[in-house]
Every structure is written in structure tokens, then in C-alpha cells.
Amino acid sequence: MANPICFWSICIIILCTLSNKHSPLALTLTPVIRTPNLPVCAPSTVPATALPDDFLTCSQKVAENRNKTHPDIGKRTDEIITYYGYSSEIYNVTTFDGYILTIFRIPGSPKSPPAQGKPAVYLNHGITQNSDNWLLAYRDRNLAFKLADAGYDVWLSNCRGNSYSLGHETLNSETDSEYWDFSWHEMGVGDVPAAVDKIISVSGNEKILYVGYSMGCTQYFVGLSEIPSLNDKLKAAVLLAPPAYMGHATNPIRLVGAATVVGGQNIVGPLIGQRVDEPTKFQEYFNVSLGNFCTPTAARCGVCDNFGYLVFGFDAPQTNYTNVPNILSKIDNASLKTAAHYAQSINNCWFRQYDYGPTKNVARYGTVVPPSYNLTAITVPTHFIHGEADNFVVPNDVQITRDHMRPGVVKEVIKVDWSLFNHVDFVNAKDADTLVYNKVLQILNNNINTP
């Protein structure tokens, strides 16, 4: 059995050490710029940040909610959907390369019963997530229920490798490391087309709407760039925190990613079975769930919350203290190659296919460096929504991504009206419904009749 806890323990130590500018081990990694046409990269040293002292506020909030158990902990997506009175259906699809995926459908709600002809919308999640993450906000404050109440036929995808989509026609996810030989490229060219075709087939829609968050946006860019016919199947897209060009990212994970990519993946990969396991493995090793570990005030407010703020940025005002254990319980699997592909994008400033090294690149691609994705192939009306304090998908890179797309395709670039809004706030923030989801609904309503 792989030891993901060892891997993440090492990551935490590296992050805490290298992100401190006073540490003798602090690193500055100079990105390699291969041509003068590349966007300028940011220095890879993560600036030392003095976190505001939120221990007192955190302690008070935790004490207030000590005896409250979130009703969604331990429930599957379909169980959460039906628990709140919404209709639920389950579908399986198989990709061209044999991965078997699960898609959950919400065809109706208490406010909008199931009916033929509803506009279908495909929600695609981020890395280490699954369909549960669209349901994190309580009741009708989450995006999936909000759309269902508004009359949409809502489809929640699950990408290969997460706990809902571990099936394969020939490979075993537990015993075959080959199963985990994929990144968001394979998801973009495999998972997205399979899901789109299934949704169109069942819903009867000729075209559907698309909402992606984080990696769900990356898959959109890949899929529509590599398979131009996908453009003819989508009416419009809303992309939340869209990662493509990422050379200015300051997220501390870039330091771990750099170490993993530069010679380290061949060592780390075999040790952890080419995968990063979901937090249930945490309980196997320490006999306590991640949520329960973060329940005591000292651990929660002194370690867990601050680690999240260190990695993603401080936004205590948007922290839902009751929901944190539920959020932690929904973290899911990811392949190491997926994380490594993002690390490559951050450190080489390109948005291109996976870099296997010069020799393997020539054999696979016919070129020394991997081919870049042609974002000008995308013709679907696309809307970007990003956070000002997002250190993973920073505003400069959002603009660079837009500049690489065909003029007029990106209809608007919207900055969330909250100065502390970070990358994980799109699914975790307590006011995500008013800050983001209402705008998503407005955009989709305006594009229902797009030909």
C-alpha cells in the first residue's frame, strides 16, 4: 500500500520551510524561458506572509458550533441530493481509453419538478474533488441546487481517479499503477467528450451549458482545443478560477511541485503508487479522521486553519466554521501526474501537453518540447470569473490566458467583489452564493437561447 501520509508530511515540511524568507533553505527557482514570446514569469520564491492572528475568533466560532454535526458528512452525492428533496439519477460513461466514470443528475427540484426540454448544464469539479464539492454550501445556497431550482437540468461529473470514478475496463486502480498514468490532458480529451455526449443523449438538448471550476476549466481548454467538434456541442461556458497560463502563480505548492517535477517524480511516484490518496487514508494511519483531527480547538485553529491560509491565502471572514469538517471529508484522490502537469505549467510558463523530457517528447510528439494548446480553436462564448487574492490562478495569468484566445470569444472577465477571495473560496466561502453563484446563474440565463 502506498504511503500518502509520508508524502504529504514531507510536502508540509517543505512548504513551511521554503516559504519562510529567513530560512537558509529558502529557494528561488528561475524559470526557463525558451522563446522571447513567452509571458513573463514571476519569481518562484513565495513571499513570507505574516498571517493575521485569527486564533481568538476561530476559537469562539468553534466553541459555538462544537455540538453541531453537519448532516452531509458521510453522504454520497446522490444521498445529499435526495436528502434535501431533489430528484437524483446516476449514469455511467466509458471513455475512449477505458475509464468508467459516474455522473450524477438533478433533473428536478421542489421548486422545479423534472420535465422534458430543460436546459442542461454540466458542472465539472477541480483537482482532489468530486461531485460532492458542488453541494458544499448548505441547501439551496450551493450552485447545483440553485441551478436546479431555476429550472436547469443539472449534471455533476466525476473525473477519472476520484472515488466515484475508479472503474476501468482492464486496469485495477488499487493494484495497477498504469491506471494512474493520466493528467488533466487525458481528462480533457477523454472525460469531457464522454460526459458531454452522455448529457446530450439523455437530456435531448442539442447543445448544453458548461461550468468548470479550477481543473474543470483546464479540461475545458484542453478538450475544445484538441477536439474542435466539441465546440459545436456547447452553448456557453462559465469558468471559475481558470488555470491555463500560470507563470505568475505564487501558491507555495509551486515549490513542492518544482521539486516533484525536477527529477523527483521518478522517486516519489513509485513510493505512493503514482497517486495522492483521499483523506480516508489519514484515518488508516493515525486512527482518526482528518475532520476529527481538526476538531479540537488547538489543532483546528492553531494548525489546520492556518495551514489552509498559508497555502491558499487568508480569508477568515469567508470561513464557514461549521462546514469545515464537511469540506475536509470531501477531499478526494488525484494522480501525481495531474499535480506534476500543473507544476510544469507554473514553472515553464507555457500551457502545453505533458513534458516527458526531450527523448520521450521526440518519440511521443516528434518535438523536443511538448506542443502548446491552441486556444484559438475555442469558439464557444466563454466567461471568466476569478478572485483578486487567488495565488494559484492570479489576475495577470487570467489576462494572459484571455489574450491567447480568439478575439471576442471571452465575453467578460469578472473579478469577484471581495478583496480576499482566493482559489478555494469558489466552493468553500460562506457567501459564495451571493458573490459568485448568482452571477453564474445570470450568465447562464442570458445564454439559454444561444444558437
Catalytic residue, from 132, 390, 397, 425: name it.
Answer: 390
Beta bridge partners of 210: 122, 237
157: exposed, middle or buried (Cβ count in 10 Å: 0-12, 13-18, 19+): buried
**Nearest CA-CA partner of 206 in 197, 194, 216, 219:** 197
Catalytic residue, from 19, 109, 183, 214: name it.
Answer: 214
DSSP assignment string, 20-60? -TTSTT---------STTSPPPPPSPPPP------HHHHHH
Residue 315: how many other CB atoms lie within 10 Å: 20
Answer whether 396's CB lies under 8 Å from 243's CB.
no
Answer whether 54's CB lies under 8 Å from 65's CB.
no
Distance (Å) of CA 436 to CA 18, 104, 316, 451: 33, 22, 18, 25
DSSP assignment string, 167-204? EESS--TTT-GGGG---HHHIIIIIHHHHHHHHHHHH-
- Residue the block writes with cell 489519514: 282
Contacts of 11 (CB under 8 A, 6+ apart): 253, 256
- 423 annotated active-site: yes
297: exposed, middle or buried (Cβ count in 10 Å: 0-12, 13-18, 19+): middle
- Residue the block writes with cell 494512474: 180
Answer whether 78's CB lies under 8 Å from 90's CB.
yes
- 214 annotated active-site: yes
Answer whether 174's CB lies under 8 Å from 167's CB.
no
Q: How far apart are the first and last CA of the chain?
A: 51
Contacts of 303 (CB under 8 A, 6+ apart): 294
Residue 38: how many other CB atoms lie within 10 Å: 16
Catalytic residue, from 341, 383, 386, 423: name it.
Answer: 423
Distance (Å) of CA 423 to CA 131, 178, 261, 315, 428: 18, 31, 22, 10, 9
CA gap 86, 78 in Å, rounded: 9
**Active site residues per annotation:** 214, 390, 423
